[in-house]
Amino acid sequence: AQSVTQLGSHVSVSEGALVLLRCNYSSSVPPYLFWYVQYPNQGLQLLLKYTSAATLVKGINGFEAEFKKSETSFHLTKPSAHMSDAAEYFCAVSDNNAGNMLTFGGGTRLMVKP
């Protein structure tokens, strides 16, 4: 069984500061990992995904994430936060054995202060 834990349901940063959103996973098979963003009253949009190629994955809007197998982590970072980054962020894991269903973490709400 797979699971995803996002440490910190709320993260607050100042505009221009580093963004770090944490994600740890548990999977019995090699995982495929995703970060999605949800803006208020909208659906989920893919930020980036890890598919066992490069361990450092670059996504949209300046976000990137690094897959660390030894730490079972896939933390999301952005060097400089922008007000428009304020949203809910979800980490998810998928595997071939489960019909490609996504198992999501509990989400992290990112707040950006001016």
Partner 1 sequence: DTAVSQTPKYLVTQMGNDKSIKCEQNLGHDTMYWYKQDSKKFLKIMFSYNNKELIINETVPNRFSPKSPDKAHLNLHINSLELGDSAVYFCASSVLRGGATDTQYFGPGTRLTVL
Q: Which residues bind partner 1 (CB under 8 A)?
A: 32, 34, 36, 41-46, 49, 51-52, 88, 90, 94-96, 98-104, 106-107, 109
> Where do we find the tokens 């001016």?
114
User: Which residue, 43 or 114, is less far from partner 1 as judged by CB?
Assistant: 43
What's the min distance (Å) between Cβ of 5 and partner 1? 12
With CA atoms as reference, report the closest residue to 100 among 23, 12, 29.
Answer: 29
The nearer residue to partner 1, 15 or 24, going by C-beta atoms, is: 24
CB of 112 to partner 1, least distance (A): 18
Q: Give one DSSP letter per residue of 28-62, joined into a string.
A: SS--EEEEEEE-TTS-EEEEEEE-SS-SEEE-GGG
Closer residue to partner 1, CB minimum distance, 13 or 50: 50
On the 0-12 / 13-18 / 19+ scale of CB atoms within 10 A, 27 is middle
Q: Sort strands 108-113 and 10-14 into parallel, antiparallel or unpaired.
A: parallel
| Residue 80: CB minimum distance to partner 1, A | 26
Tell me the closest approach of the beta carbon of residue 12 to partner 1, in angstroms: 17
